[in-house]
Structure 1
């Protein structure tokens, strides 16, 4: 997957770039916007970072990957959280202004398939999953389940998870018109948890109160989005999660970015249900 090897180079860009502003001081603030997949973990990271940057306030807000990258492009955030790689045209717009875009992978995630806890289905192939969300498979009975309609829950189009799912599951085809777009993974989980006929998708760390459906691979084996399958790449819907910032970066933003790839932050990622980008020692 493109960009997974870029961490040392990204930090080197920060180390070699010029900086604006002075040294961190009392009352300094940095803003982080973007991916709803990352927002809860980022809030934990922000709180934990006060040990290394006690005079810096980190303000975190979600809204989706597209929102965060748009804010980075127009200069209204210091760092953007993303659950997909930045698009070529987005990168061009930032670098066209004379800045250097820095991409830092901060955690590993597995996009999980959520169904109601009462649903007896044990696994789905990617082809069947594609058929479900494209609207070609409309009833659970077509998959060996109860004879009732499948209710689809998706994310809004500004979501990086939406973009990832559309590319890797739907192969860039459209979602079924009846798929209900919800503003955040938590909303998808809540909707699926209430509805025995529902199916949705989102980051593995948010899978609470729902059943996570394993995927059946082409060789007939079944793989769940667990640590081993995600870190080895065996689970096909594994993805990196990123933070983006401009270089030159202000000292506070640079310091926070460095904290995110350190052992304390990576241990917190594991505790939150993600997978560490670099395993804690």
Structure 2
């Protein structure tokens, strides 16, 4: 469904608190967070001045129909964190091995941790996915690590956060996908991409690795703004880069851009 004309459009992850904060900070601006696909279309066709879009793997930035230049900024990212029990000797894991654990039809089925690492002790792998409402854990992982394949039938899907915490605390063979690092119990694994043309270096999901795009299990939320509308959107753009907005994005389960990066973006806007 096509969105109505609005100043700022984009992902439905921003409905609720983020949309409310934007309304309070920039009362003269209209918004319609009806989804990334209709938001992209509205922005390309000139029915919106800015768009906040989830940019999926291998997807390109929008090009405006009227060829106007676009200023873009990686505002936040939806991330999949891979966690295991604190006693697990593993420090990292590749996308291929994650697929071997979670996919219904993997290249090399992995049911035991010594299928991943021959030096590991024999321990059955307990795979689970915690994808709370408003997060994209299941969809991101299935799209990137599984390349669209279905999950193995015995994978526990969409478990609640308290169940995920219990698994990480009590099951030594657990490997659980969650939207943010565990607050206390559990150990976060670094993830190596390793796909053709991609780095085989493993990265953890820290603020820098996520923003730079080095951590592979993520979908960035990118802010695109028409160059000829920067001035009139100023109040809204400043709020979207504020600490208040970052806190709301984090509460939504996203990883906001580092504060220093957000401030540099605003400084560049001020000089245009």
So what's the TM-score if we normalise by structure 1? 0.56
Shift of residue 220 of structure 1?
4.4
Residue matched to 1:235: 215
Tell me the equivalent position of 2:192. 216
1:91 and 1:231, CA in 2 relative to 1: closer, same or farther beyond 3 A?
closer
CA shift, 1:13, in A, is 3.4
Aligned to 1:195: 171
Partner deviation per Cα, 1:24-82 (whole Å, 9 max, x = no partner):
xxxxxxxxx976xx89xx76x689789759xxxxxxxxxxxxxxxxxxxxxxxx856x8
Match of 1:151 in 2: 126
In 2, Cα distance between the equivalents of 1:280 and 1:228?
13
Provide structure 1 residue ranges, at least 5 long, that are not aligned to the other structure. Answer: 1-9, 18-32, 54-77, 244-256
Contact 1:266 1:276 in 2 (8 A): no
The CA distance in 1 between the partners of 2:248 and 2:181, in whole Å, is 9
Q: 1:216 to 1:140 in 2, by over 3 A?
A: same
Provide closer, same or farther for how the CA distance between residues 209 and 79 of structure 1 changes in structure 2, counting only shifts above 3 A: farther
The answer (yes or no) to whether the contact 1:49–1:259 under 8 Å persists in 2 is: no
Equivalences for residues 110-125 of structure 1 within 5 A = 110-125=79-94
Q: Is the contact between residue 83 and residue 181 of structure 2 (CA under 8 Å) also seen in structure 1?
A: no
Q: 1:107 to 1:200 in 2, by over 3 A?
A: same
Residue equivalent to 1:174? 150
Tell me the equivalent position of 1:140. 113
Task: Report how far residue 190 of structure 1 moved.
Answer: 3.9
* Gapped regions of structure 2 (runs ≥ 5): 27-31, 54-74, 224-235, 264-272
Q: Distance in 1 between matches of 2:132 and 2:255?
A: 23
2:142 is paired with a residue whose SS is: helix
Partner of 1:59: none
Shift of 1:188: 2.8
- Find the aligned partners of 1:183 and 1:259 in 2 and give their Cα distance: 37
Q: Structure 1 residue 164 and structure 2 residue 164: aligned? A: no
Q: Is residue 131 from structure 1 mapped to residue 100 from structure 2 by the alignment?
A: yes
Moved more, 109-118 or 154-163: 154-163
Shift of 1:164: 1.1
Which residue does the alignment assign to 1:13?
Answer: 6
Q: Matched residues in 2 for 1:269 and 1:206: separation?
A: 19
